[in-house]
């Protein structure tokens, strides 16, 4: 092996040691390797094949899946601007251009000296303080022209990230309205002691469990958006048969990837103890010994603070062996980071990722509650759900059930962004109307709200009386507001780009359908859409909904369907009066030949529309 | 009382970026040509040598689009023909010519006119009489609306006969097992 | 084997644990499919085998048969949706049947014939996918890959290797081989690997076998795919 290809053993060894040479930690190992070496080179993969006893193709398959992993050099500074519609509205495009111009780099490419690359990524959970970017996966919010210039200076000066001014990385919580979750008075351990008072730890086997009963009484439903009853999930996992050598697993889904959502970021930053306590309550109910927090890669900056919380809890006897001094009450939590894959928010894809694989949603059944992490019974719940569970363990189900509506109890954290005076986090009881939320955050002249992110629902003015609740407008937390200046077609188009970027590629309809849909929307945006293309969009929507493997494909057409239904003129305005438009720009298709021949005569061009037609 | 003689369908055909194989196969419908001319009459076609397409009921187009002239002729057909049929693999998906699509046009021209062995001081032809090549070869349906497709390389005489008789009878053409081929 | 469901009105008996497509195949009924193969663990990715089960769209290769299910498969609506999936597969890759050695033996092509696909309909992606001719005996033409992962499963589950795997994501998903060079010749592939014989399309081809069976006399020239026993 040549000098150039030498594998830096001093880098790999401690990483491999930290992850126990465990192939199921492959995603974590690749992440740490890249943090040290800037990219994952073939010789490094080769070295990992030997250390982890994994085939090359498998590691390449995993590395190739996650958009934050690079199997080709991407520069020492890898800048990714958040590209959600909210950031675009805040002027991200001009800032991207400014950085590219300043640093002589073309968007999407690596600078000639290999120093940096500038590109875009999906929403990074900073919608209330955008535009924002990630540099080597660390978030820099509140971007301004001045801040961009400052970043350029640091990059040009090759200043190590660790030496960058800390204020660049300061993320605000922006909590504007507190309730149950954000205003609790629990101290670490309170809910665990309450749980212990309700029933003994674990209590393996069937039969009612007081904690599960409390959840049932609370009628708690999962906060990830689907609203599955949490008691039922925990009970199914509890009752799932356990093969020899297997154990039950608790997983906290902090892969908050739905564009416009950032409430889990704030919960983890301000209420980490409550969340970990909720996970430990679950372990108490299930007799689980092992837990994972799956944190989206965009929240990399939270890793060390969260590790510190875990350490503190271990030291306080709230985690680890003999929790609260109870013999056999053993439970610990490991943090895994994602690496830029929205689909991993789907629970079975998340489990695949935890196992060190490509984040492809599994075929179900079997469900994770019986066959989850490494084929073991696994509960996967949202960050907010675990926080609720801790409160319910403390206060009982009844008090929780008294808040909200009959079918949607408790409160909901909303991540509000877009055209509002005060973007940030708002905690409302379920059942709050969209109009009430808009009033609270200072929205005026609102034309539409995207509730629950691109895969959720787009509401127009006539629907602002509708309620945030599972039985009306469900939401995982995103609440993006658009005033009358905004072009709702552009909103939907941005979302089709998002889904095409995030499709895992497993099933045909989503893998091919999401880019086709994106291309059709782009065609309309370029003024080359005909009624024929509009009909194609509607057909694609139908197919994605019927044939896709998972929720991503099912909901990829939602923003388009919703905006067509409510803002049809925004589409019609873009349709040409031609009955059919070419798939591509005919004149541009002649440009390479023009350049090669030096011709520019009339015959060297093609008009957009058919002159024979006029 | 005798039924009025049914008006014959006026049909134009052409070959764009194709090899005329589909036209040859058209002739393979053999003696049924006599039946066919009872039903249709030809406008512009290599079979008639009429150069300009007139108002037609049906246009049958072989070959895909590899240059500006192909695009002009296709648009002319679309403007003058009530219905268009894409015939053959090249018209349907670009076919053999589209296998250049993974190469950059500049590289192809370089290779052909500058760097191939035997080329001395070659120039890339730039006569305005010559149509410029498109950067990629495209099938017909990506540029105009195509009403029907007869795939095959070429489609057999039987397949062409079946499709045409379906169309003449006012049906969407259907090629069952043995007639439907992409090769 | 006494429990049954109905498939397009016909009663189908099934054994416990069978999927809908398994029971249907045992009963001699054909449901279109590409990534399903009776010898391998179902994958459920191509979605061609989607049927409606009590009105809901489900992949029949991953859905367990259950007593009383009302399954519909051979309907105009479902065949139309399947045709659209086939068209997506055709425009996603570079499928030039006239110059493909697999023509006539290709399941993608034969299924498209059976479902009456006259055009790929969509705008072509025309991706750039270089072939791998490095191996002396085997050619890999990735242009035709439909990402069914049958070779991946065969290599893993039968050959006990990982000669093939999927990498990339979304429309960029691609088949890779088990070597740092990315070339088949540098992998641990062996000529008797099952993985080399399961490709439903023309990606994995043995060299120097071209036209051993003439066009016109190949598997699906003889009979439509719905009538060819797997």
Interface test with A, best of B132, B136, B146 (most A CBs within 10 A): B132
The mean pLDDT value of chain A amounts to: 95
d(CA A261, CA A259): 6
User: Which of B75, B107, B130, B146 is the best substitution to test chain A (most A C-beta atoms within 10 A)?
Assistant: B75
Beta-carbon separation of C47 and A503 below 8 A:
no
For residue A592, being part of any structural domain is answered with: no
Return the pLDDT at B135.
97
Q: Walk me through the domains of chain C, giving residue ranges and CATH numbers.
A: 3-74 (3.10.20.740), 83-212 (3.30.70.20)
Q: Over the stretch C83-111, which tens digit does the pLDDT of each residue have? A: 999 999 999 999 999 999 999 999 999 99
Statement to judge: residues A338 and A210 lie in one domain: yes
**Minimum mean pLDDT range among A56-60, B121-125, C198-202:** B121-125
Q: How large is the ipTM?
A: 0.97
Tens digit of pLDDT for each residue in A235-269?
A: 999 999 999 999 999 999 999 999 999 999 999 99
Question: Distance, in angstroms, between C164 CA and closest chain A CA?
Answer: 7
User: Is B112 an interface residue toward A (CB < 8 Å)?
Assistant: no
Residue A576: predicted pLDDT: 83
Which of C33, C40, C47, C163 to probe the A interface (max A CBs under 10 A)?
C47
Q: What is the pLDDT of residue A205?
A: 53
In sequence order, the 6+-apart residues with CB closer than 8 A to the CB of A117 are A74, A75, A77, A78, A79, A105, A108, A109, A110, A111
Same domain, A160 and A182: no
Same domain flag for A473 and A517: no
pLDDT of residue A579: 85
* Per-residue confidence (pLDDT) for residue A3, from 0 to 100: 44
Q: Whose CA is closest to A415, among A451, A381, A383, A466?
A: A451
The answer to whether residue C70 scores a pLDDT higher than 70 is: yes
For residue B177, tell me if it sits in a domain: no
**C-alpha angle C158/A505/C198, rounded to 5°?**
30
- Nearest CA distance, B77 vs chain C (angstrom): 19
Q: What pLDDT band is residue A203 in, cutting at 50, 70 and 90?
A: low
Residue A585 lies in a domain: no
Give the contacts of A4 (CB within 8 A, at least 6 positions apart).
none
Predicted model pTM: 0.96
Question: Are residue A54 and residue A23 in the same domain, yes or no?
Answer: yes
* Buried-exposed string A43-60: b where 16+ CB fall within 10 A, e elsewhere: bbbbbbbebbebbbbbbb
| Angle, CA A556 vertex, CA A553 and CA A559 arms, to 5° | 160
Answer whether residue B112 is part of any domain. no
The 3-class secondary structure across C42-81, one letter per residue, is: CCCCCCCCEEEECCEEEECCCCECCCCCEEECCCHHHHHH
Residues of A with CB under 8 A from a CB of B: 532, 579-580, 582-584, 586, 589-599, 601, 603-604, 606, 610-613
Question: A323 with A281: CB under 8 angstroms?
Answer: no
What DSSP element (H or E) covers B133?
strand B133-138
Residue B37 structural domain: 9-102+136-168
Whether B3 shows a pLDDT value over 70: the answer reads no
| Dist CA A157 CA A150 (whole Å) | 11
- On whether any CB of chain C is under 8 Å from the CB of A43, the answer is yes
User: Are residues A217 and A197 located together in one domain of the fold?
Assistant: yes
pLDDT band at B1 (very low <50, low <70, confident <90, very high): very low
Indicate whether A608 pLDDT > 80.
no
Of B29, B27, B19, the closest CA to residue B62 belongs to: B19
Q: Which residue of A has its CA nearest to B70?
A: A606
* Token couple for A270: 């301000």
8 Å CB contact between A154 and A77: no
With bands split at pLDDT 50, 70 and 90, how would you rate the model's confidence at A613?
A: very low
Interface contact flag, C169 A503, Cβ < 8 Å: yes
* CB-CB under 8 Å, B136 with A589: yes
pLDDT at B49 over 90: no
CATH number of the domain that B88 lies in? 3.40.50.700
Do the domain assignments include residue A612? no
Q: Which two tokens stand for residue A55?
A: 């085939």
Q: What is the pLDDT of residue A297?
A: 97
CATH code assigned at A140:
3.40.30.10
| Separate counts of helices (H) and strands (E) for chain B | 6, 7
Can you read off the two tokens belonging to residue B47? 């079979």
Beta bridge partners of A567: none
Kindly state the percentage of chain A with pLDDT values over 70. Answer: 97
Q: Is residue A271 part of a domain?
A: yes
Domain boundary among the residues A486, A515, A540 is at: A486
- B153 part of contact set with chain C, CB < 8 Å: yes
Could you report the per-residue pLDDT of A578-601, keeping only the tens digit for each?
889 999 999 999 999 999 999 999
Strand order in the sheet with A116-121: A116-121, A77-82, A133-135, A138-140
- Segment A87-115 shows an average pLDDT of 96
| Closest Cβ opposite residue B141 in set C90, C119, C130 | C119
Query: Using CA atoms, how far apart are residues A303 and C75, in angstroms rounded to an integer?
Result: 53
Tell whether A348 and A460 lie within a shared domain: no
The answer as to whether B54 is a domain residue is yes
* A407 part of a folded domain: no
Task: Examine the pLDDT at A1 and tell me if it is beyond 50.
Answer: no
Please judge whether B183 and C224 are an interchain contact, meaning their C-beta atoms are less than 8 angstroms apart.
no
Chain C residues with CB under 8 Å of B180 CB are 113, 116, 118
Task: Report how far residue B148's alpha carbon sits from residue B4's, in angstroms, rounded to the nearest whole number.
Answer: 29
Please state the rounded mean pLDDT for residues A169-181: 97
The answer to the question of residue B147 being in a domain is yes
Residues in chain B closer than 8 A to A584 (CB atoms)? 138, 142
Q: How many CB atoms are closer than 10 A to CB C224? A: 17
Reply yes or no on whether the pLDDT at C145 is more than 80. yes
**Considering the domain boundaries, does residue B2 fall inside one?**
no
Q: Pairing state of beta strands A478-483 and A133-135?
A: unpaired
**A612 vs B76, B138, B143: nearest CB:** B76
The three-state secondary structure class of B43 is coil
**Is B178 domain-assigned?**
no
CA distance C55 to chain B (A): 29
| Contact present, A61 and C165 (Cβ < 8 Å) | yes
Structural domain for A144, as ranges? 77-172
Distance of alpha carbon A112 from alpha carbon A105, whole angstroms: 8
Q: Which residues of C touch A589 (CB under 8 A)?
A: none
- For residue C119, the chain B residues in CB contact (below 8 A) are 86, 92-93, 141, 146, 149, 151
Residues 6+ apart with CB under 8 A from A461: A446, A447, A448
Number of domains into which chain A is organized: 5
* Distance between C217 CA and the closest CA of chain B, angstroms: 11
Structure token digits, residue C110: 């034969």
What CATH number is given to the structural domain containing A280? 3.40.50.11540
In this prediction, residue B119 has a pLDDT band, given cuts at 50, 70 and 90, of: confident
Q: How far apart are CA C162 and CA A482, in angstroms?
A: 49
Max distance between CA atoms of chain B, in angstroms, equals 75
Residue B63 domain flag: yes
Pair (A541, A525) in one structural domain: yes
pLDDT at residue A204 greater than cutoff 70? no
Instruction: Give the per-residue pLDDT at B121.
Output: 72
Tokens 């126990």 belong to residue = A20
The verdict on B32 touching C (C-beta cutoff 8 Å) is no
| Residues A143 and A261 both lie in one domain | no
Q: Cis (ω within 30 of 0) for the bond into A366?
A: yes
A361 pLDDT band, cuts 50/70/90, is: very high
Residues A82, A52: one domain? no
CA-based nearest distance B118→chain A, Å? 21
> Residue C57 forms beta bridges with which residues?
C52
What are the C-alpha distances in Å from A138 to residues A26, A202, A359? 21, 39, 22
Give residues with Cβ within 8 angstroms of A298, minimum separation 6.
A121, A124, A125, A134, A137, A139, A257, A338, A340
pLDDT at A226 over 60: yes
Residue C128 to chain B, least CA–CA distance (Å): 5
- Mean pLDDT within C119-139: 97
3-state helix, strand, coil in chain A (%, to 5): 45, 15, 40
**Contacts A–B by Cβ distance under 8 A:** 74
Query: How many domains are there within chain B?
Result: 1
Strand partners, C138: C206
B142: nearest CA in chain C? Answer: C123
- pLDDT score, position A323: 96
Instruction: Specify the pLDDT at position B5.
Output: 61
Report yes or no on B174 lying in a domain: no
Half-sphere exposure of C161 (CA within 13 A, CB side): 17
Among A486, A516, A536, the domain boundary falls at A486
Query: Is residue A214 located within the same domain as residue A111?
Result: no
**Among B66, B68, B107, B137, which would you mutate to test the A interface (most chain A Cβ atoms within 10 Å of its Cβ)?**
B68
Percent of chain A with pLDDT over 90: 92
Domain final residue, candidates A125, A140, A172 = A172
Band of residue A609 on the pLDDT scale cut at 50, 70, 90: low
Q: Which residue in the set B76, B80, B145 is minimally distant from A580, CB to CB? A: B145
Q: Cα dihedral sign for A384, A385, A388, A393? A: negative
Model confidence band, residue B7 (pLDDT cutoffs 50, 70, 90)? confident
Summarised one tens digit per residue, pLDDT across range C50-69 is 999 999 999 999 999 999 99
Q: At A511, which CATH number? A: 1.20.1440.230
Q: Which residues of C touch A516 (CB under 8 A)?
A: 88, 122-123
Structure tokens at B27: 């002739």
| Whether residues A301 and A210 fall in one domain | yes
User: Would strands A332-337 and A290-295 be described as parallel, antiparallel, or unpaired?
Assistant: parallel
| Range name among A91-100, A312-321, B38-47, C166-175 with the lowest pLDDT average | B38-47
Provide the 3-class DSSP secondary structure of residue A272: helix
Count Cβ atoms below 10 Å from residue A481 Cβ, excluding itself.
26
Contact A593 B105 (CB under 8 A): yes
């Amino acid at each position: 092996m040549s000098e150039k290809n030498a594998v830096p053993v001093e880098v790999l060894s401690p990483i491999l040691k930290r992850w126990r040479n465990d192939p199921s930690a492959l995603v974590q190992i690749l992440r740490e390797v890249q943090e040290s070496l800037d990219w994952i080179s073939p010789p490094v993969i080769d070295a990992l094949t030997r250390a982890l006893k994994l085939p090359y193709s498998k590691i390449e398959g995993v590395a190739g899946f996650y958009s934050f992993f690079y199997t080709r050099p991407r520069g020492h500074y890898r800048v990714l601007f958040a590209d959600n519609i909210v950031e675009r509205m805040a002027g991200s495009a001009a800032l991207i251009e400014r950085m590219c111009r300043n640093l002589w780099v073309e968007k999407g490419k690596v600078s000639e000296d290999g120093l940096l690359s500038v590109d875009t990524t999906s929403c990074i959970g900073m919608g209330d303080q955008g535009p924002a970017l990630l540099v080597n996966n660390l978030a820099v919010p509140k971007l301004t022209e001045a801040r961009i210039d400052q970043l350029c200076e640091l990059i040009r000066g090759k200043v190590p990230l660790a030496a960058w001014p800390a204020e660049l990385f300061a993320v605000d919580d922006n909590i504007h309205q507190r309730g149950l979750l954000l205003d609790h008075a629990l101290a670490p351990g309170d809910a665990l002691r309450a749980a212990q008072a309700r029933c003994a730890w674990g209590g393996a086997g069937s039969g009612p469990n007081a904690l599960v009963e409390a959840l049932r009484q609370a009628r708690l439903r999962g906060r990830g958006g689907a609203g599955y009853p949490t008691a039922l999930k925990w009970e199914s996992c509890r009752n799932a048969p356990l093969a020899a050598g297997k154990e039950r697993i608790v997983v906290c889904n902090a892969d908050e990837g739905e564009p416009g959502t950032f409430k889990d970021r704030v919960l983890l930053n301000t209420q980490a103890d409550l969340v970990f306590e909720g996970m430990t309550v679950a372990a108490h109910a299930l007799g689980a010994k092992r837990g994972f927090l799956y944190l989206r890669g965009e929240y990399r900056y939270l890793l060390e603070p969260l590790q510190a919380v875990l350490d503190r809890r271990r030291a306080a006897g709230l985690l680890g062996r003999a929790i609260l001094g109870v013999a056999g009450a053993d439970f610990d939590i490991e943090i895994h980071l994602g690496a830029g894959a929205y689909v991993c928010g789907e629970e079975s894809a998340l489990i695949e990722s935890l196992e060190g694989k490509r984040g492809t949603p599994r075929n179900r059944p079997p469900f994770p509650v019986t066959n989850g992490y490494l084929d073991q019974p696994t509960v996967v719940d949202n960050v907010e759900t675990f926080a609720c569970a801790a409160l319910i363990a403390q206060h009982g189900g009844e008090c929780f059930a008294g808040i909200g509506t009959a079918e949607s109890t408790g409160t909901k954290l909303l991540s509000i962004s877009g055209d509002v005076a005060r973007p940030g986090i708002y905690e409302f009881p379920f059942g709050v109307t969209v109009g009430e939320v808009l009033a609270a955050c200072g929205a005026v002249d609102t034309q539409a709200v995207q509730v629950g992110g691109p895969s959720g629902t787009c509401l127009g003015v006539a629907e602002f009386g509708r309620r945030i609740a599972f039985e009306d407008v469900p939401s995982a937390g995103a609440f993006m507001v658009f005033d009358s200046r905004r072009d709702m077609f552009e909103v939907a188009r941005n979302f089709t780009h998002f889904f095409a970027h995030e499709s895992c590629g497993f099933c045909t309809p989503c893998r091919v359908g999401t880019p086709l849909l994106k291309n059709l929307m782009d065609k309309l945006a370029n003024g080359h859409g005909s009624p024929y293309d509009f009909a194609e969009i509607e057909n694609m929507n139908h197919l994605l909904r019927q044939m896709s493997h998972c929720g991503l494909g099912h909901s990829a057409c939602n923003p388009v369907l919703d905006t067509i239904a409510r803002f049809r003129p925004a589409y019609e305005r873009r349709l040409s009066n031609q009955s059919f438009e070419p798939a591509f720009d005919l004149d541009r298709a002649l440009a390479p030949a023009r350049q090669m021949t030096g011709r520019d005569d009339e015959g060297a061009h093609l008009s957009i529309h058919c002159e024979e037609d006029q | 009382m005798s039924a009025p003689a049914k008006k014959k369908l006026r049909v134009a055909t052409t070959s764009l970026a194709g090899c005329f194989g589909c036209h040859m196969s058209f002739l393979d419908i053999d003696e049924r040509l006599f039946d066919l001319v009872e039903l249709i009459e030809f406008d512009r076609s290599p079979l008639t040598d009429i150069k300009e397409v007139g108002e037609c009921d049906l246009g049958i187009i072989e070959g895909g689009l590899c240059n500006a002239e192909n695009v002009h002729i296709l648009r002319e057909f679309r403007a003058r023909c009530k219905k268009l049929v894409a015939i053959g693999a090249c018209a349907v998906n670009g076919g053999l010519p589209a296998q250049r699509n993974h190469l950059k046009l500049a590289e192809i021209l370089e290779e052909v006119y500058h760097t191939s062995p035997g080329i001395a001081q070659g120039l890339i032809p730039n006569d305005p009489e010559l149509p410029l090549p498109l950067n990629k070869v495209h099938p017909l349906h990506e540029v105009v609306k195509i009403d029907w497709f007869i795939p095959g390389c070429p489609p057999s005489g039987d397949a062409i006969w079946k499709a045409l008789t379906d169309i003449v009878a006012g049906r969407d053409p259907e090629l069952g097992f043995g007639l439907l081929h992409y090769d | 084997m006494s429990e049954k469901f109905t498939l397009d009105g016909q009663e189908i008996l099934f054994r416990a644990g069978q999927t809908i497509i398994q029971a249907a195949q045992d009963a001699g009924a054909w449901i279109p499919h590409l990534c399903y193969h009776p010898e391998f663990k179902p994958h459920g990715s191509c979605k061609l085998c989607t049927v409606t089960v009590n009105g809901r769209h489900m992949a029949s290769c991953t859905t367990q048969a259950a007593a009383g299910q009302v399954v519909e498969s051979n309907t105009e609506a479902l065949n139309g949706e399947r045709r659209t999936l086939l068209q997506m597969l055709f425009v996603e890759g570079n499928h030039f049947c006239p110059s493909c050695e697999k023509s006539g033996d290709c399941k993608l092509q034969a299924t498209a014939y059976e479902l009456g696909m006259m055009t790929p309909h969509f705008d072509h992606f025309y991706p750039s996918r270089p072939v791998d001719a490095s191996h002396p005996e085997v050619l890999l033409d990735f242009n035709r890959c439909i990402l069914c992962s049958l070779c991946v499963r065969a290599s893993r589950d039968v050959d006990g290797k990982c000669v093939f795997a999927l990498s990339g994501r979304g429309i960029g998903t691609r088949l890779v081989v088990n070597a740092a060079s990315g070339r088949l010749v540098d992998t641990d592939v062996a000529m008797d690997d099952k993985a080399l014989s399961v490709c439903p399309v023309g990606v994995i081809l043995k060299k120097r076998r071209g036209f051993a069976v003439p066009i016109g006399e190949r598997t699906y020239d003889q009979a439509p795919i719905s009538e060819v026993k797997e």
